[in-house]
């Protein structure tokens, strides 16, 4: 007997204009989770500010330090 497996996925699109002590930026990602001061952005991440646009597979952003850590492919464009 053959079985048909259906795989379903739900994509959550997050977009936020986020003021921080490091300036204001906007971000979008398929999934966003938080762990204390660190936001974990997963899937097609785009982060934009007045000075740059960052596109990456996944990003960890620390609200306290302003540090961005990319995972996977990443591309940054200075404005």
pLDDT at residue number 21:
53
In a domain, 2, yes or no: no
In a domain, 67, yes or no: yes
pLDDT at residue number 7:
36
In a domain, 64, yes or no: yes
In a domain, 5, yes or no: no
pLDDT at residue number 40:
93
Domain, as residue range, for 71: 14-78
Half-sphere exposure of 78 (CA within 13 A, CB side): 0
Pairing of strands 68-78, 52-62: antiparallel
Token pair in block for residue 61: 């952003």
Residues of the chain with pLDDT under 70: 1-23
pLDDT at residue number 73:
93
d(C-alpha 34, C-alpha 37), whole Å = 7
In a domain, 8, yes or no: no
User: Per the structure, how many domains does the chain have?
Assistant: 1
pLDDT at residue number 12:
38
In a domain, 72, yes or no: yes
d(C-alpha 64, C-alpha 9), whole Å = 32
């Amino acid at each position: 007997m053959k079985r048909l497996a259906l795989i379903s996925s739900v994509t959550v699109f997050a977009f936020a204009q986020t003021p921080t002590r490091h300036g204001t930026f906007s971000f979008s990602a398929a999934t966003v989770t938080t762990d204390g001061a660190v936001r974990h952005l997963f899937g097609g991440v785009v982060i934009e500010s007045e000075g740059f646009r960052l596109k990456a597979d996944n990003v960890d952003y620390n609200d306290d330090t302003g540090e961005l850590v990319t995972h996977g492919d990443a591309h940054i464009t200075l404005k």
